[in-house]
Structure 1
């Protein structure tokens, strides 16, 4: 990497975030002249300066590492496998959150909606809708939601849900600037009906946008919340999302409770 790589990357991030040189200089507590020299490649940043500018631009940790490499420094933020021993306490916390959500579904996904963990409630919902998955099947929830043949046939308000979801992926692509997120967005946009979903008028009723599933005579009304870990110092942890599903009516709640009791009874008999 050369000094020009960092200069171009810094300028790209500043423009992507919509800051003028004066605004970014103020946020980073440096002179606009010094920032201009950095963007032109006429001055070389220190490692601390790279981190300061990245923080001022709210650049994700993965891309902060890329900026450091572009400036000639080693990455400072680790990317640890979720199963690694040093993340054991975080994993325990995630397992606790998933267990507390029972009998309702909850999942843990990465930045690109690849499924990492799921509770029994989530497994029961998927098995009801599409049948059991083979062990170790890789699942991408973005594809499962947007593609024609997985959840879409059972999601009666797919147009509204898919439009909202794809717009959130557009925001992710604008925020993180990675090829992987851009490729995910491109893949989702290529699915039949997505462009029309993005231009459909947004729903105006209700406090939240529900997910309305129907299979046979069973109707499920769910809304979701998404949580992240606070103050992450690891790329993997910063990119985790915990999505929890809640019933919007008592009928849906009773269905999930019934599935849970049936599963417990079956386990006790085996």
Structure 2
């Protein structure tokens, strides 16, 4: 959900988005086939933008579709983009496509989350990693951030938790700046306050002066931050990627994210193929 004060005009909102994008009025005018003078008039409230102009400016400012609806409403127009529940029959093709994608990625972990990181779908690779997570965290709706960072979740088994935690929190901060969601802000404040398990609390697996996490990191390419996590006495290493839908026309679809975990070394890949043939 997006919260916009009814007293906030569309001009100041567009100015905020333009400044956030570090774009001058002239830059925006050139991209939107307008003039800097007209953009200035819109931002100061001296000119009321047409519906088409609101959408053109939103497109050039790369504003999320949920926020575009908010801009249209504040400007006095009807929302343009629907928000169709994922279980609606009209979304059957989306659900089926996601299910096929997740199944096709097995045995490697993959999941789909919504705009507040609630898990919409997941494959057997993700279920495999949930071993040891508390039942409370696995009670629907499952939330990927809570499961990952909570002391009763995956956090104690993540060998590079400080780095992985910092990366996830930075990701949430960028999203909060983009979508202005009170729910997302509340989730961020919750998970950021979770205590971080001390490495000394992790099982001691030292055999040659280095722990298993150190050895796993040595096997991992340095081009991306890996997720190094223990499972069944083995230390696995993954590189994560996130995909979204191109040019979404529905708020629900726009906020879906598909996160896949690619094995970062042969040992991890072989282990998963053995467990999930």
TM-score range for the pair, normalised by the shorter chain length:
0.7 to 0.9
Partner of 2:215: none
> Residue 225 of structure 2 is aligned with which of 204, 209, 222?
209
Partner of 2:47: 43
The 8 Å contact of residues 166 and 185 in structure 1, kept in 2 or not, is answered as yes
CA-based RMSD of the aligned residues comes to 2.5
Aligned residues: 252
Alignment CA distance shift 1:101-1:131 (3 Å) = farther
The 8 Å contact of residues 110 and 122 in structure 2, kept in 1 or not, is answered as yes
More helix by share: 1
- The answer to whether the aligner puts 1:21 opposite 2:25 as a matched pair is yes
Moved beyond 4 Å, runs of 4+:
1-4, 131-136
Deviations 1:198-247 (A, max 9, x none): xxxxxx97122111112462221122121111221111111111111122
Distance 2:184 2:48 in 1: 30
Distance 1:134 1:249 in 2: 29
Question: Deviation at 1:134?
Answer: 8.8
Structure 1 alignment gaps of length 5 or more:
195-203, 262-270
- The answer to whether the aligner puts 1:84 opposite 2:88 as a matched pair is yes
The 8 Å contact of residues 3 and 71 in structure 1, kept in 2 or not, is answered as no
The 8 Å contact of residues 133 and 152 in structure 2, kept in 1 or not, is answered as no
Partner of 2:173: 170
> Residue 219 of structure 1 is aligned with which of 218, 225, 235?
235
The 8 Å contact of residues 3 and 41 in structure 1, kept in 2 or not, is answered as no
Partner of 1:179: 182
TM-score computed with the length of structure 2 as normaliser: 0.83
Question: Deviation at 1:8?
Answer: 2.1
Alignment CA distance shift 1:239-1:163 (3 Å) = same
Secondary structure in 2 matching 1:75: coil
Partner of 1:156: 159
The 8 Å contact of residues 223 and 247 in structure 1, kept in 2 or not, is answered as yes
Secondary structure in 2 matching 1:34: helix
TM-score computed with the length of structure 1 as normaliser: 0.85
The 8 Å contact of residues 137 and 146 in structure 2, kept in 1 or not, is answered as no
Secondary structure in 1 matching 2:9: helix
Pairing 1:60-99 to 2, within 5 Å after superposition: 60-99=64-103
